[in-house]
């Protein structure tokens, strides 16, 4: 039985679906603060928070948990700059609580949702796993703290973990059943599509004076289905006895904010008015990785890597969302 903590969120629910398709039995544990109950397909569901020790202990007592995948976290850079304590409480204290419970029950396999934000301003592009980690915001810092805690837990308790450092997850399941819908929405591609649908008047471009060819930030967008697939491979690797490690997950293709808006205009055939706005605090100019390590060691093969496919699947979902 695989415990998916935060499995009702955008990425967690996609992983639950693919775990199920790969033949794993899952339990989803989520406080539904940001997640959607309807997003959890074919999994036992338990409502709960990672800070609730007694509920977690009960869950571990009643179920034979083989491994834990941990998606439950606050994940907005801007919000973390304004309220760092909330981020450290949920992302760090909450995860410590989850890890303590796992160790108490002898569960020693852990897949962790980490982020490109652990690197801060990159020293080189593409970013490699061995590059310095100097986060520029509390969100990235909270994830890096957990990575360090995980390394100590391996030394002390033999916990085996794989930390997956996501670049920009985007797109939606090809079935159209689940997709990205945050309330409130802050992410670039869903916001652009809301503009295309006439639900918003314009998309704000946060900063046009970055040291990039068109002055806007460059990001490495990765399809959520490919991202989920990397989790399944990481889980299988841990089960097969792989030692603890970290992987970057992206496609190696950087796209600027302006390029994403133009591509969305082409794909949707709709007008997307743009407002040039100030930079958002905590945003590095360029975040791109090659994922060579995940490709070589996990045998990961991204299938839906190009920006057109990412936006087209997101568009299919946004035109007809399930919630
Ligand atoms: N962005 C933007 N306008 C928006 C939302 C995002 O220009 O309304 C930019 C943001 O500054 C970043 C990129 O789009 O460079 C991706 O941001 P998003 O919030 O989607 O993901 P993040 O990089 O924060 O994980």
Read off the pLDDT of residues 191-204 as tens digits, 9 standing for 90 and up.
999 999 999 999 99
Is the per-residue pLDDT at 102 higher than 90? yes
- Whether 143 and 12 map to the same domain: the answer is yes
DSSP β-bridge partners for residue 247:
164
Is the per-residue pLDDT at 182 higher than 90? no
Across the range 24-29, mean pLDDT stands at 98
- Whether 137 and 206 map to the same domain: the answer is no
Q: Domain total for the chain?
A: 2
What are the two backbone dihedrals, phi and then psi, of residue 121, each rounded to the nearest 5 degrees? -70, 115
CATH number (domain holding residue 265)? 3.90.25.10
Is the per-residue pLDDT at 86 higher than 90? yes
CATH number (domain holding residue 144)? 3.40.50.720
Residues with CB under 6 A from ligand 1: 77, 168, 186-188, 191, 203-206, 217, 219, 257, 280, 283
Across the range 134-159, mean pLDDT stands at 97
Q: If you measure from the C-alpha of residue 127 to the centroid of ligand 1, how many angstroms do you get, rounded to a whole number? A: 19
- Whether 143 and 215 map to the same domain: the answer is no
pLDDT score of 101: 98
139 a catalytic residue: yes
Question: Is residue 236 assigned to a domain?
Answer: yes
Question: Is residue 178 assigned to a domain?
Answer: no
Which of 10, 87, 119, 139 is catalytic? The answer is 139
- Whether 67 and 208 map to the same domain: the answer is no
| Continuous segment of H or E residues that includes residue 56 | helix 53-62
Domain that holds residue 24: 2-170+221-249
Domain end call among 249, 268, 298 = 249
Domain end call among 249, 266, 293 = 249
Residue 288 to residue 19: CA distance in whole angstroms: 27
pLDDT score of 143: 98
Question: Is residue 183 assigned to a domain?
Answer: no
DSSP tally for the chain: helices H, then strands E:
11, 13
- Whether 238 and 200 map to the same domain: the answer is no
Residue 220 to residue 123: CA distance in whole angstroms: 16
Question: Is residue 181 assigned to a domain?
Answer: no
Cα–Cα distances (Å) from 150 to 16, 90, 100, 145, 160, in that order, read 23, 16, 11, 9, 8
pLDDT score of 282: 82
Domain end call among 202, 234, 249 = 249
- Whether 123 and 211 map to the same domain: the answer is no
Nearest residue (by CA) to ligand 1, atom 1, is 188
- Whether 159 and 277 map to the same domain: the answer is no
Is the per-residue pLDDT at 66 higher than 90? yes
- Whether 132 and 267 map to the same domain: the answer is no
**Ligand 1 atom with minimal separation from the 189 CA:** 20
What are the two backbone dihedrals, phi and then psi, of residue 114, each rounded to the nearest 5 degrees? -110, -165
Neighbours of 54 (CB within 10 A): 9
Across the range 170-176, mean pLDDT stands at 96
Cβ-count burial of 55 within 10 angstroms (0-12 exposed, 13-18 middle, 19+ buried)?
A: middle
- Whether 89 and 125 map to the same domain: the answer is yes
- Whether 94 and 138 map to the same domain: the answer is yes
- Whether 96 and 203 map to the same domain: the answer is no
Question: Is residue 182 assigned to a domain?
Answer: no
pLDDT score of 265: 98
- Whether 151 and 82 map to the same domain: the answer is yes
Helix 138-157 vs helix 94-104: crossing angle, to nearest 10: 20
Is the per-residue pLDDT at 323 higher than 90? no
Q: If you measure from the C-alpha of residue 188 to the centroid of ligand 1, how many angstroms do you get, rounded to a whole number? A: 5
What does the pLDDT look like over 224-259, one tens digit per residue? 999 999 999 999 999 999 999 999 999 999 999 999
pLDDT score of 183: 86
What does the pLDDT look like over 259-297, one tens digit per residue? 999 999 999 999 999 999 999 988 899 999 989 999 999
Question: Is residue 239 assigned to a domain?
Answer: yes
Question: Is residue 143 assigned to a domain?
Answer: yes
Pocket test for ligand 1, best of 191, 193, 206 (most atoms within 8 A of CB): 206
Question: Is residue 179 assigned to a domain?
Answer: no
């Amino acid at each position: 039985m695989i415990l998916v903590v935060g499995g009702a969120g955008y990425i967690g629910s996609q992983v639950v679906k693919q775990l199920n398709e790969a033949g794993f039995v899952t339990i989803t544990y989520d406080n539904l603060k940001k997640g959607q109950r309807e997003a959890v397909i074919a999994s036992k569901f338990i409502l709960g928070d990672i800070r609730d020790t007694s509920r977690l202990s009960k869950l571990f007592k009643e179920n034979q948990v083989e491994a834990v995948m941990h998606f439950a976290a606050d994940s907005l850079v801007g919000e973390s700059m304004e309220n760092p304590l909330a981020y450290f409480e949920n992302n760090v204290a909450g995860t410590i609580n989850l890890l303590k419970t796992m160790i108490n029950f002898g569960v020693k396999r852990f897949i962790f949702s980490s982020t490109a934000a652990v690197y801060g301003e990159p020293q080189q592009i593409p970013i490699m796993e061995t590059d310095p980690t100097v986060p520029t915001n509390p969100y990235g810092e909270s994830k890096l703290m957990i990575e360090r805690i995980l390394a100590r837990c391996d030394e002390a308790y033999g916990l085996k973990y794989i930390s997956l450092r996501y670049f920009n997850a985007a797109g939606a399941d090809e079935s159209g059943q689940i997709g990205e819908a945050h309330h409130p929405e802050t992410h670039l591609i869903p916001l652009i599509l809301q503009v295309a649908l006439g639900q918003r008047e314009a998309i704000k471009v946060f900063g046009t004076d970055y040291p990039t060819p068109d002055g806007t930030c460059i990001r490495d967008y990765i399809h959520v289905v490919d991202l989920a697939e990397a989790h399944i491979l990481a889980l299988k690797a841990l089960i097969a006895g792989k030692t603890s490690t970290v992987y970057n997950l992206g496609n190696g293709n950087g796209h600027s904010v302006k390029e994403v808006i133009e591509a969305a205009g082409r794909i949707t055939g709709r007008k997307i008015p743009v407002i040039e706005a100030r930079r958002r605090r905590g945003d590095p100019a360029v975040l791109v990785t090659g994922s060579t390590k995940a490709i070589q060691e996990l045998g990961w093969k991204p299938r839906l890597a190009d920006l057109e496919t990412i936006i087209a699947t997101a568009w299919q979902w946004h035109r007809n969302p399930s919630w």
